[in-house]
Amino acid sequence: MRDLFVLIATHGRTPLLGRTLGSLAACRRPEGYRGTIVIENGSRAGAEGLVAAADPGLRAEYLHAERPNKSAALNLGLERCPDAFVVFLDDDILLEPQVLEAYAAAREAHPGRHFFGGPCRADWEEEPPDWLKPLLPASARGWSIEDPGRPLTEVMFLGFNWAAEARDVLEAGGFDPQRGPGTPSMGQESDMMQRLVNRGWTGIYVPDALGHHHVPRDRCSPQWAIARSSRFGAALAHGCRLTGRPRWPRVAVYAAMQPALAIRRAMARRRGDRPAEVRAACLRNRRAAFIRETLRHPFAP
């Protein structure tokens, strides 16, 4: 049985971290479980005390990364368990009791060049209207796939509920400190999974590794969806640049469509159609951000 560690990077969300540690303590722990490492990055906001008071069965360890950067925090955690199988969780997730067992069993069943991910359900403070849900990211609306036995050769898993061999992640270069919380970009976990895919690894979906992701009220609003779409567009352009996918044909198409999207948004606002207005704004912002990010690095591969 492989040694299994849980890594949780945290910053300024002590109450949510306490919920997560309590949920983790209620999970059944497989034979190979060795501990949970919590890495607080940036200012110290009480995580150390929560870790010290955690259920002894978690064998929880606290680390601190001076830099307020999630990628740097995760890399620090990986250095503590470089030869283990690691489950990556966020500090705002609740777990079903079988999650750790499910990941351990999946790893035993697929010992080769694989990484793993499970589904999630949204744990809303206030449920958004149905029309808004498709405009929210998967982390804020829930995610699963219908065919659990299908190996995945494209990035799909959510960064707050996945698992991989620490050695594989380290050999792929570790998490990129230029991406994710603490930077203007996003998606350091998706970036890592893409690099693993590029190196020949395959994703394995683990349906029993179910987590419930906390979604605060202010992340279920039309304003947040519009703002998030800009970050998504920039991250998409960054990902295309990293993987060598063509960017300039998209830029040409997106630029040509921007005036029509602006008109669509204005007409929806005039007739009082808020869903149509927000949909047009999200699409326009995402494409504008893709264009801006591409122009910032025009000669990159």
**Residue 186 one-letter amino acid:** M
Q: CB of 209 within 8 A of CB of 161?
A: yes
- Distance between CA atoms of residues 150 and 161, nearest Å: 18
Which CATH number, 3.90.550.10, 3.40.50.720, 3.40.50.410, 3.40.190.170, labels domain 4-216? 3.90.550.10
Token pair of 94, please?
């609740």
Identify the pLDDT of residue 172: 93
- Distance between CA atoms of residues 198 and 88, nearest Å: 20
Token pair of 111, please?
């010992």
- Distance between CA atoms of residues 147 and 29, nearest Å: 27
**Residue 170 one-letter amino acid:** L
Strands of 201-258 (E only): list them: 202-205, 211-215
Identify the pLDDT of residue 184: 53
What is the tens place of the pLDDT at every residue in 143-198? Answer: 998 776 666 666 679 999 999 999 999 999 999 887 766 555 567 888 899 889 98
Identify the pLDDT of residue 177: 83
**Residue 284 one-letter amino acid:** R
- Distance between CA atoms of residues 21 and 50, nearest Å: 8
Per-state percent for the chain, helix, strand, coil, to nearest 5: 45, 20, 35
Please give the torsion angle defined by the CA atoms of residues 266, 271, 275 and 280, in that order, rounded to the nearest 10 degrees.
-20
- Distance between CA atoms of residues 119 and 211, nearest Å: 7
Identify the pLDDT of residue 156: 76
Identify the pLDDT of residue 205: 93
Q: Which residues of the chain have pLDDT under 70?
A: 148-155, 180-186, 300-301
Q: Which 3 state secondary structure label does DSSP give 59?
A: coil
Q: Which 3 state secondary structure label does DSSP give 263?
A: helix
